[in-house]
Structure 1
Amino acid sequence: IEEMEMDGNQMGVLPNEEGTVNVVLVKGNDYKPTTEGVVLYLNAGNDLQPMLDKVEQNGGKVIVPKCVFRTILTPHSGEADPLLLV
Structure 2
Amino acid sequence: MKRNILIIAFAMILTMGIVITSCVSAKVADKNGSQLWAQNCMRCHNSPPSSAFTNTQWSVISSHMRQRAMLTEVESKKILEFLQGGD
TM-score by length of 1: 0.25
The structure with the greater share of residues assigned to strand is 1
The structure with the greater share of residues assigned to helix is 2
Larger radius of gyration: 2
Greater relative CO (CA pairs within 8 A, separation 6+)? 2
TM-score by length of 2: 0.25
